[in-house]
Structure 1
Amino acid sequence: MKRLLTQLSGFLLIALLTAAVFDTTPAIGQDEAGPVDEYLELVESSGAEYAPAFDFFTVSMLWTVIAAALVFIMHLGFATLEAGLTQSKNTVNILFKNVWIISIGLITYALLGFNTHYPVDSWQIPGWLGINGPIGDLNADGGATWGYGGLSLAMTGYGDFIFQAMFAATAATIVSGAVAERIKLTSFMVYSTILVAFGYTIAGSWHWGGGWLSSLGGGDAAFYDFAGSTVVHGFGGAAALAAVLILGPRKGKYTSSGIKPIVGHSMPLATVGVFLLFFGWFGFNGGSVLSANPGPLGLVFTTTALAAAAGGISSILTSMIVLKKPDLSMALNGLLAGLVSITAGADSVSVWASVLMGAIGGVIVVFSIVFFDKIKIDDPVGAISVHGVCGIWGTVAVGIFGGANLVSQIIGVIGVYVFAFIFSYVVFLLIKMTMGVRVSEEEESGGLDIGEHGQEAYNIT
């Protein structure tokens, strides 16, 4: 046994000497160092001056694309809310329009929307109009590094594009709800394409693209709209009002004996839609921080949630007093009213100011919906009240609670709303004169699902 151990020791010594001479033993830790080296190369590739911020930049970019996905979910929320608050015979039509809106919205934003929204130095009329062409390689020229936007825009060029692209179709989605159950499909498809490609992006460029609104009043006195109470929601609400005025109310809604309610077919579907919108709004407002900066991000999430909750409570109480019953549709619109009300100032007001802003928005939306019904402006889902009227309140409220200049806020609201209304009115009127905008009475009575699509949403036997 002793002799065997001696022989084995000799063999082991020879093996170790051979490994030392010919370097046949793998270096311990070599495999572990590989990924580290690759990571260091990735950090260094961002540029020496940006390398220290690489981890924060990476987290911020990740949050940006998550926020973009949350905003995308909002389109499902709009579709289900709109479908639930309208008649079952129009459900396929509602869903089809929403499929069209997100699809054409993304394509047109890539073709001309993004560079029109952000003209940089390519204005045809400085500060007012800068229509430009399609996106190129947004990762080029440092577009994939911290140098693209720094702390205030901590994302890549493509991250910036996809987040803003998800916003773009929202304006047309707002209009879709207001004109539901009586608009011709092809006419809406043409109208929504023009509205998203040109109207929304031009108005947005005035504020976020460095246009006249961004310098209105100068410095701290400039117009302020954090995530779009006016330039997104208000624009959509004003555009919807113009379209509804031309289109007219649904058949049988207003009679000689008064207002005849046309009830939605699925309150569960509408409720799911509102909660999807509430969920997506955390990306809508939270993503507008434009980085993963912990302080502003936490504040924005909190003010967004509290304003929505306050809007829901105040609309419930208001509807119980005014309508003598706790109306679920008013409660749902109250949540949305609170969200629209806080969108302009989610990063600049205190948490208790956000509660007050949301609560006032919840009261406003109830009276606004009742008012539009009384003057025979038919809005099946309350989109004009939620987005248009509460968009005004939310923007002005930043001048009251958030330190913005009140005069600049009012001027900004007037400028965007007037432009949105006129742009929408002209486009819709031209479509009416050339294509027609309303389905026949027979189609409206039988439902747009059969008349426009030849299929039903619910095949129950």
Structure 2
Amino acid sequence: MTPPVPARCLREGAGGRGKRADAHSGRRRDVRPIGVFLARGGGLLGTSVWKSGASIALALALVALSGGLAFAEGPDPTGAEAIKAKPELAVNFAWTLVAGFLVFFMQLGFALLGSGLIRSKNTVNYLTKSFLDFCMCALAFWAFGFALMFGGATGGDGSVLSSGLEAGNLLVGFSGFFLTGAAYDVSTVQLWFFQVVFAATAATIVAGMMAERTKITAYLAYSFLISALIYPIYGHWVWGGGWLSTLPFGAGAKDFAGSGVVHAIGGLVGLAGAALVGARIGKYNADGTPNRIPGHNIVYVAAGTLILFFGWFGFNTGSTLAATDLRISVIAVNTFLAGCAGAVAAVYYGLAKTGKADLPLACNGALAGLVGITAPCAYVAPWAAVVIGAIAPFVMLATNWLVERVLRIDDPVGAAGVHAGAGLWGLLAVGIFADGTYGDVAGLIVGQSGQIVAQLISIGTVLVWGLGTGFLLFGLLKATMGLRASREEELAGLDVPEHGTTAYPEGDGLSLAPARS
């Protein structure tokens, strides 16, 4: 067993935290706030330190409660010293940032997909929420979320996972607020960027689940709070060296790129919000049977799905945080196969049930497959990725049936099944299909039972945390500012009442100009 290596810890990627080795054994190196540095020859994984001087009172209160801060020897805001010590960092930094750009581009995919699945009278409202989602998230994660998620992370043996950073525990980090002081470091800022686009993904999932009846003001408050508190605290437990990653079963709870941390959290919080805001007018009959409310633009749905599929390669392969980690080829292939298997399985289900090749079902099936493979993508063989992806649409369909017909919760875009259902399936799949070839993560397929115990604990935890915090957050918002638009606004559509414009001012964009003679 590798001995503890405080301040010189390595892990196998953003989602594969826990596997550590000492790349600097034999001599002491200069300590800098560069986070958990090099994964398998290179990727940054670290956390940061916050020096006093922030101007916001809440941040000062958090510092006071923290009982003091640990300071590194000094930041490296230009990267000159880091690149001198490790020239390969240039490649790994570029890799991680470009992957982050791809994940950010997924916001357009979510915006198109969701707006296509709802009615045209709410298109501007949906796009506004999608746009402001990541803006609110960026500020919240910069101010508070990143510090809570990665500040003071500890390793599986209790050692500190970042250079000179000791302000944290197995429940929460509490250093690195506002990226100031020692956190103003190229490696810390790089990690912040890659992680903030993940946080924005979790936040935007809720937009579709509460679409067509939620007030914009309440939604913006939600966007800030999930990014500042709900997402990062659970993320710390899995990715920041928290208690789930240190479970004494298997290699600890594993979620390589976020089936649970990103997708299940977003889906479960959204489920709570959809339950509290209530169903859309006309969704349910007096006897409780649901009515279908079709979306308005299948082109948006297909285009959004393709953009999301493309961005997923950044989501999953980028989570190595290192181009020098050659497992990226397996991750890319697994991602591709699982998404394709999900689409094909969903289409054939539709053909068997209705005799029609249902395009929206195929799109959601592909997304379910992608969500399902996100946690195990680095730990399984390609054949297992196909199985995981093919099963995911059926988990999605079962979840959506439960939500719509049993719980009678209105989810206009079916995100509960895609993100919550398939996300939980992805966590479970790690414990079943992990083959032990990467990160010492081995599941039932190779005769190891410890990992599935850790995965089941993580599933139970994300269910309790996601639903519990979701009901608490939206319950408070409902009691204070209100969640739901008025009946008149909902019937007319939220575009004009809340935004003063429509997406299709010329007759829904369908009218044709008369031919000129």
Whether the TM-score (by the shorter chain) exceeds 0.5 is yes
Which has the larger helix fraction? 1
Tell me, yes or no, if structure 1 residue 388 matches structure 2 residue 408. no
Aligned pairs, number: 402
1:196 offset after TM fit, Å? 1.2
- The percent of aligned pairs where both chains have the same amino acid is 40
Q: Matched residues in 1 for 2:81 and 2:189: separation? A: 18
Alignment-derived partner of residue 496 in structure 2: 450
| Amino acid aligned to 1:377 | I
Deviations 1:146-196 (A, max 9, x none): xxxxxxxxxx22211111111111122111110000011101111121111
CA offsets per residue over residues 357-391 of structure 1, 9 Å max, x none? 00000222233323322222211111111000111
How much has 1:284 moved relative to structure 2? 0.5
Contact kept in structure 1, 2:237 and 2:245, CA below 8 Å: yes
Moved more, 398-407 or 90-99: 398-407
1:225-236 pair list within 5 angstroms:
225-236=255-266
Q: Residue 117 of structure 1: SS of its match in structure 2?
A: helix
| Aligned-partner Cα distance in 2 for 1:177–1:265 | 14
Residue pair 2:102, 2:314 contacting (<8 A) in 1 also: yes
Would you say 1:430 and 2:476 are equivalent positions? yes
What residue in structure 2 maps to residue 264 of structure 1? Answer: 295
Cα distance change of structure 1 residues 47 and 259 upon mapping to structure 2, 3 Å threshold? closer
Deviation, structure 1 residue 102: 0.6
- Moved >4 Å (runs of 4+): 42-45, 121-125, 137-140
User: 1:254 and 1:350 mapped to 2: Cα distance?
Assistant: 44
Paired residue for 2:9?
none
Equivalent pair of 1:112/1:135 in contact (CA under 8 Å): no
Other structure's SS at 1:225 match: coil
Q: Which runs of 5+ in 2 are unaligned?
A: 1-77, 154-164, 435-441, 444-450, 508-517
Deviations 1:231-271 (A, max 9, x none): 11011111111111111111101113732211000000011
Is 1:359 the counterpart of 2:402? The answer is no
Paired with 2:83 and 2:101, the residues of 1 have a C-alpha distance of: 29
Distance 1:340 1:109 in 2: 23
Unaligned runs of 5+ in 1: 1-41, 145-155
2:170 is matched with: 127
Q: Determine the structure 2 residue equivalent to 1:331.
A: 362
* Cα distance in structure 1, aligned partners of 2:108 and 2:453: 37
Match of 1:237 in 2: 267
SS of the counterpart of 1:255?
coil
Give the distance between the partners of 1:395 and 1:43, measured in 2 at CA: 36
- Within 1, Cα distance between the matches of 2:481 and 2:210? 16
Residue 71 of structure 1 corresponds to 103
Give distance in 1, aligned partners of 2:468 and 2:272: 7
Q: Which residue pairs with 2:223 in the alignment?
A: 192
Establish whether residue 253 from structure 1 lines up as the match of residue 283 from structure 2: yes
1:317 aligned partner:
348
TM superposition score normalised by structure 1: 0.83
Distance 1:45 1:429, change over 3 A: closer
Q: Does 1:175 align with 2:195?
A: no
Tell whether the 8 Å contact from 2:116 to 2:297 is kept in structure 1 after alignment: yes
Secondary structure of 1:221's match? coil
Aligned-partner residue type, residue 485 of structure 2: V
The 8 Å contact of residues 77 and 277 in structure 1, kept in 2 or not, is answered as yes
Q: Which has the larger radius of gyration?
A: 1
Shift of 1:323: 4.2
Q: Secondary structure at the match of 2:327?
A: helix
